[in-house]
Amino acid sequence: MKPPAAPRFGDIVLASAFRPFFLLVPLAAISAVLPLPVIWTGLVGSGTIGSAAWHAHEQVFGCLAAAMAGFLLTALPSWTGTPAVTGRPLAMLVTVWLAGRLAFWLDGVLPASLVALADLAFLPAVFGSALPALAKAGKRPIDLGLVVAGLLLANFWFHMTRLGALPGTPDVAVVLGLDLLLVAIALALGRILPVALGAALQEAGLRGPVRLSPGRRHFAAATLALFAAADTFAPASPVTGWIALAAACAQLDRIVELHRGAALRRPQVLLFYVAQAFMAAGLAGLGAAALGACFDPVGLRHLLGMGAASLTVVTVMSIVSLRHSGRAFPLPRAVWIGPLLIIAATLLRVAVPEIAPEAMPWLGVALPSALWAAGFLAWLVVFGPWLVTPRLDGKPG
């Protein structure tokens, strides 16, 4: 018999879904903002399709969708005890995702229907891979499955509006995608927060049970789902405004459970807390705007996309990378760097159009884009090595 050879790089990275996707998320996040400064500062003329729609789509259905795929395809099997997607099927999934991104970059060169086809393949593939876990009765990730299905439809709608086959605009479709992602986050936090809070309590030397009421979580998710529906069917209506305000309050109501003294200051809790606060602020702002206040809705969408969604995603990615690479809490101190840069980017992107609209191209787009890119790069530097080395405890995954 031959002595066991050192595992190959490909085998390690394809051992679990979170590894390749979390490696790609920072790249996707950076590439989705790359063209923006160029367009906004006017150095080069605008692209062929709406740059805003392109950018939003890449952030939501490119970057965030990849993060969600990595999370779900790692977490769902471990919740339900079903086999995980690894090796060749995982490589296929990653290839499908890459094809979608490539097609989007070549939008305008390739025919629109081909772009649509390439991009639309990914989410159904993720859904199909998650099906064994979702089909397992008794466990409850069904709600997350429904949201993935909703995302899939939103992306489908996005492309159909571009092709002129369905009514609506790409912008509304991509906003629906982001709203649905927020629902997914609200649901997924129910699974992640107990672990994060438990670890934080231990690190802070506090005792007492982790008490997170499902009622609060469901209320937060349900109001968000309602908001997503209202936001799609009656975007500017005051009814939607009130619902947005209600959803904001429900998110705030939820984070009271994180008020646990020193445990709140641990990164795995504080980052979620800040993200939830951003979510509440964004929803409240959108609500106020729909009811007549003059806020810039695009800035508020960025509060939701950057502040709430991305910050949560980066934190989840950190925790999943830690745990599923066989490591134990605490998170390394360097975990703060990426999120702080992203928070700075968010604040600039949201505040500049309100305070100094004329400074928008440089301070509101170029600088936030750079900070954003730096944040994701920092994350990759800190956690990337864990993703390309075998699990510490020798278990598969």
Partner 1 sequence: MIPLRTRLAQALDYVWGGWGAAASLLLLVALWEAGHEAYGTLVLPSPRETFAMLWRMTLDGRVWPAVVETGRNALAGFLGGVLVGGLLGALAGLSDMMRRLLAPVSTLMLGIPAIAWVVLSLLWFGGSGLAVVFTVLVTSAPVVFASAAEGVRSLDGALQRMARAFRVPRRVLVWDVYLPHMLSYLFPAVATALALSWKVAVMTELLSGAGGIGDGLATARVQVDTVKAMAWILVVVALLLAVEYLLLEPLRRHVLGWRRELPGAETRDPQGI
- Which residues contact partner 1 by CB under 8 A? 75, 78-79, 190-192, 194-195, 209-216, 219, 223, 226, 230, 237-239, 242-243, 245-250, 252-253, 256, 259, 291-292, 319-320, 323
The two three-digit tokens of residue 327, written as one number: 């490591």
- Contacts of residue 213, Cβ cutoff 8 Å, sequence gap at least 6: 257
Query: Is 194 or 361 the residue whose CB approaches partner 1 more closely?
Result: 194
Question: Minimum distance between the CB of residue 208 and partner 1, rounded to whole angstroms?
Answer: 9
Contacts of 195 (CB under 8 A, 6+ apart): 319, 323
CA distance 212 to 216: 8
Give me the amino acid identity at 74.
Answer: T
**Preceding omega of 124 cis (within 30 degrees of 0):** no
Rounded-to-integer distance, Cα 155 and Cα 148, Å:
11
CB of 285 to partner 1, least distance (A): 15
Looking at the Cβ atoms of 43 and 137, the one nearer to partner 1 is: 137
- For 24, 26, 31, 72, the CA distances from 389, given in Å and listed in that order, are 16, 18, 25, 21
The CA distance from 187 to 214, in Å, is 10
Strand partners, 107: 110
Sign of CA dihedral 224, 225, 228, 232: negative
CA 238 vs CA 248, 272, 289, 395: distances in Å: 15, 29, 9, 53
Helix axes 18-33, 367-387, angle to 10 degrees: 160
Tokens of 14: 């394809």
DSSP designation for 109: T
Kindly tell me which of 86 and 251 has the beta carbon lying closer to partner 1: 251
